Amino acid sequence: MRHFDFSPLYRSAIGFDRFAHLFDAAQLADAQPSYPPYNIERVSEDRYRIAMAVAGFDRSELDLESERDTLKIIGRKAKDEAAKTFLHRGIASRSFEHRFQLADHVKVVSASLDNGLLNIELVREIPDTLKPRKILIDDVTTVGAANDKVGFLNRQAA
Per-residue pLDDT tens over the stretch 83-131:
788 899 888 778 999 999 898 889 999 999 999 999 999 999 888 888 8
Rounded mean pLDDT of 44-60? 92
Contact 71, 100 (CB under 8 A): yes
Tell me the pLDDT tens digit for each residue of 5-27: 666 665 655 555 666 666 666 66
Which 3 state secondary structure label does DSSP give 140? helix
- What percent of the chain has pLDDT above 90? 36
> Given this model, what pLDDT does residue 2 score?
61
> Given this model, what pLDDT does residue 4 score?
63
Contact 75, 54 (CB under 8 A): yes
Q: How does 104-128 read in b/e, with b if 16+ C-beta sit within 10 Å?
A: eebebeebeeeeeebbbebeeeeee
Contact 50, 38 (CB under 8 A): yes
C-alpha distance across the termini of the chain, in Å: 74
